[in-house]
């Protein structure tokens, strides 16, 4: 513990030193660059089902069998889900924001330099869309995504990079706020395990070719390397733990149904003083470039389970019976709320969309919380009894919102990578074709159970990714085309880290054995280099897909216009990851002025 506190103090002192040195760099070589960008995304798909305004049960009247808890008699309960209850309305624009970034690079001596990036992001609420939704509150650490961030309901200001570099001979060190990008795959993260992702601004739906460059959550850390005389290099890092940041509930890119409340702050406090660290060894052996990785980290994505709501909605009512009922409810995983689930139909629908087991999740909310049984609930043997139980309590208490805790578990990861360049007849397709293979093996990785039990799934997970890439000139009239083909295989979880046992799901999952996905992408500059055409496709073995065609226009060094589309599809059986994003089809544009 003393060692960890010592390292943490060094990290905080280091970033202060970076800012102080940069501010007093009167004798240094300083460069300042940056840009101002307008970003917008126009919705071409349906409303996001995970939000109140997109709930498919809005306005529907359902009649369901329920039990009278007093007499035990069955009666028909009629319920109508009020449309657009709570906050948010159906929108035409998912993103309309202004971004500004300033990069400051300071060279003090041949050995010492500093880098600082300042970033501001302001999201406009057009026509009251998403008004009163805090788009940037993280739910932990005072709402901040990183230690150098301040945010409000529709803006964030941060310093994602503030570090000091030292380089002399075979040694290199970096101290301060930074992120670590290991691995070069599009979409897939095999070696890229040091930092979580910040999905608040544009989820994962920005330009795929940028490889998460704007999404990694920065963290205070120390990173260094030593290059041996045989050109092998040993690199290591240690940094403060920072979680992945999910889009806010009811925000345009929300990935979690609003019928859940995620309790995070208390459980983040359990790990906020923890450190993650890792090592990587790179070098060549004959014609092969090899990499070996060993990492100990706290998984930034976290795992979820039922937890007590700790909310007495009837407190202060002055009615003892109601206050007693509220006190009992506060000991369960549920809270009466107008933006909760209204019926068993809705419950099972979103269980499927969330890759949860609607029946066993209900059972775990009963047998792991004694207060639920005291209210008259009992573990159910099948889906029919689960539906009756749910509709009984919806009829008695109104819509209910579930409370889940987000916890963070540590894990050890080993990795291996190789790269090989093929040689063939010059100017043929196979000449200078690059093959890359990355594999990681996570030991005792924790996964959220589809039942939301506190007994998480713990498995070893193997992840492999095979990549083929090349620059090839198909025509003398055009610059070389860059293309890449990838195949990822995961033994335990999907693209988003959800365990495959929750897939193939109609409210009760049948499960899958593994996850496979493929990516093909190309970039084609035009002869004058003013235009560039992009195309990326992600295709999953189970049928989900994302097509991202796009074009870049840069008529000068000062201005660039990007225009892209995200076309997302699924077979509708809750058996692929892309179905989570299926409602988020859009056309997005970025107009950037550089200075």
HEC string of 24-81 equals CCCCCEEEEEEEEEEEEEEECCCCCCCCHHHCCCCCCEEEEEEECCCCCCEEEEEEEC
Task: Give the domain-ending residue among 354, 384, 405.
Answer: 405
Task: Give the domain-ending residue among 376, 405, 434.
Answer: 405
The secondary structure of 148-179 as a DSSP string is TEEEETTEEEEEEEEEEEEEETTEEEEEEEE-
69 in the same domain as 139: no
242 in the same domain as 293: yes
Structure tokens at 327: 């006190």
335 in the same domain as 282: no
pLDDT digits (tens, 9 = 90+) for 325-360: 999 999 999 999 988 999 999 999 999 999 999 999
100 in the same domain as 62: no
pLDDT digits (tens, 9 = 90+) for 531-548: 999 999 999 999 999 999
Q: What's the mean pLDDT in 467-489?
A: 95
Q: In the chain, what percentage of residues exceed pLDDT 90?
A: 81
pLDDT at residue 26, as a whole number? 55
479 in the same domain as 585: yes
At 127, the pLDDT band (50, 70, 90 cuts) reads: low
329 in the same domain as 259: no
pLDDT digits (tens, 9 = 90+) for 353-403: 999 999 999 999 999 999 999 998 999 999 999 999 999 999 999 999 999
338 in the same domain as 372: yes
379 in the same domain as 264: no
562 in the same domain as 498: yes
pLDDT at residue 52, as a whole number? 87
HEC string of 207-258 equals CHHHCCCCCECCEEEEEEEEECCCCCEEEEEEEECCCCECCCCCCCCCCCCC
Q: What's the mean pLDDT in 259-268?
A: 94
Tokens 């159910």 correspond to 380
Question: CA–CA separation, 291 vs 318, rounded Å?
Answer: 67
Q: What's the mean pLDDT in 169-174?
A: 97
Rounded to two decimals, the pTM is: 0.93
> pLDDT at residue 141 above 70?
yes
> pLDDT at residue 101 above 80?
yes
Tokens 């097509």 correspond to 547
What is the number of domains present in the chain? 2
The CATH number covering residue 481 comes to: 2.40.160.10
313 in the same domain as 233: no
327 in the same domain as 425: no
101 in the same domain as 78: no
At 133, the pLDDT band (50, 70, 90 cuts) reads: confident
pLDDT at residue 11, as a whole number? 56
pLDDT digits (tens, 9 = 90+) for 412-431: 999 999 999 999 999 898 99
pLDDT at residue 130, as a whole number? 56
pLDDT digits (tens, 9 = 90+) for 188-236: 999 999 999 999 999 999 999 998 999 999 999 999 999 999 999 999 9
pLDDT at residue 447, as a whole number? 98
Task: Give the domain-ending residue among 385, 405, 425.
Answer: 405
> pLDDT at residue 165 above 50?
yes
* Chain mean pLDDT for the chain: 92
> pLDDT at residue 85 above 50?
no
SS3 369: coil
Which structural domain range is residue 562 located in? 2-46+90-302+408-594
């Amino acid at each position: 513990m003393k060692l960890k506190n010592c390292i943490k103090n060094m990290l905080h002192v280091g970033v202060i030193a970076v800012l102080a040195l940069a501010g007093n760099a009167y004798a240094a070589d300083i460069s300042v660059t940056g840009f101002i960008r307008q970003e917008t995304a126009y919705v071409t798909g349906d409303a996001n089902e995970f939000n109140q305004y997109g709930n498919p049960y809005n306005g529907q009247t359902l009649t369901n069998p329920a039990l009278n808890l007093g007499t035990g008699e069955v009666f028909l309960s009629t319920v109508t889900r009020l449309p657009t209850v709570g906050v948010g309305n159906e929108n035409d624009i998912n993103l309309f924001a202004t971004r500004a970034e300033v990069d400051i690079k300071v060279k003090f001596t041949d050995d010492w330099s500093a880098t600082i990036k300042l970033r501001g992001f302001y999201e406009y609420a057009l026509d009251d869309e998403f008004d009163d939704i805090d788009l940037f509150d993280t739910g932990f650490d005072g709402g901040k995504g990183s230690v150098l961030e301040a945010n409000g309901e529709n803006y964030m200001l941060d310093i994602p990079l503030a570090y000091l570099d030292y380089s002399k001979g075979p040694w290199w060190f970096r101290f301060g706020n930074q992120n670590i990008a290991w691995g070069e795959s599009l979409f897939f993260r095999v070696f890229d395990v040091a930092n979580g992702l910040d999905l608040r601004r544009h989820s994962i739906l920005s330009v795929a070719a940028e490889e998460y460059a704007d999404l990694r959550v920065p963290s205070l850390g120390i990173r260094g390397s030593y290059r041996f005389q045989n050109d092998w290099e040993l690199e290591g890092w240690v940094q403060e733990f920072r979680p992945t940041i999910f889009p806010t509930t009811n925000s345009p890119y929300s990935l979690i149904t609003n019928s859940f409340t995620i309790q995070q702050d208390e459980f983040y406090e359990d790990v906020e003083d923890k450190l993650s660290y890792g090592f990587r060894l790179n070098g060549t052996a004959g014609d092969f470039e090899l990499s070996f990785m060993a990492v100990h980290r706290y998984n930034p994505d976290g795992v979820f389970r039922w937890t007590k709501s700790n909310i007495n909605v009837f407190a202060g009512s002055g009615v003892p019976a109601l206050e007693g009922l509220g006190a009992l409810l506060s000991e369960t995983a549920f809270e009466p709320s107008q933006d909760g689930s209204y019926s068993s139909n809705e419950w099972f629908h979103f269980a499927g969309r969330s890759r949860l087991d609607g029946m066993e999740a209900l059972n775990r909310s009963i047998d792991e919380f004694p207060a639920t049984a005291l209210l008259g609930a009992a573990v159910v043997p099948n889906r029919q009894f689960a539906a009756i139980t749910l509709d009984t309590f919806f009829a008695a208490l109104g819509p209910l919102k579930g409370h889940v805790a987000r916890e963070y578990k540590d894990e050890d990861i080993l990795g291996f990578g190789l790269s090989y360049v093929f040689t063939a007849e010059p100017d043929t397709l196979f000449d200078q074709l690059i093959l890359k293979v990355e594999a990681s093996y996570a030991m005792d990785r924790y996964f959220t159970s589809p039942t939301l039990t506190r007994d998480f799934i713990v498995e070893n997970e193997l992840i492999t990714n095979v990549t083929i890439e090349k620059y090839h000139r198909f025509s003398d009239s055009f610059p070389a085309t860059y293309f890449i083909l990838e195949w990822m295989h995961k033994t335990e979880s999907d693209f988003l880290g959800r365990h495959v046992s929750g897939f193939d799901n109609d409210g009760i999952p049948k499960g899958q054995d593994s996850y496979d996905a493929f990516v093909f992408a190309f970039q084609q500059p035009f002869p004058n280099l003013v235009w560039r055409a992009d195309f990326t496709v992600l295709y999953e073995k189970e049928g989900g897909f994302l097509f991202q065609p796009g074009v870049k226009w840069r008529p000068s060094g000062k201005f660039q216009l990007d225009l892209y589309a995200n076309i997302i599809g699924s077979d509708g059986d809750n058996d692929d990851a892309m179905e989570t994003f299926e409602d988020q089809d859009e056309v997005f544009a970025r107009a950037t002025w550089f200075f």
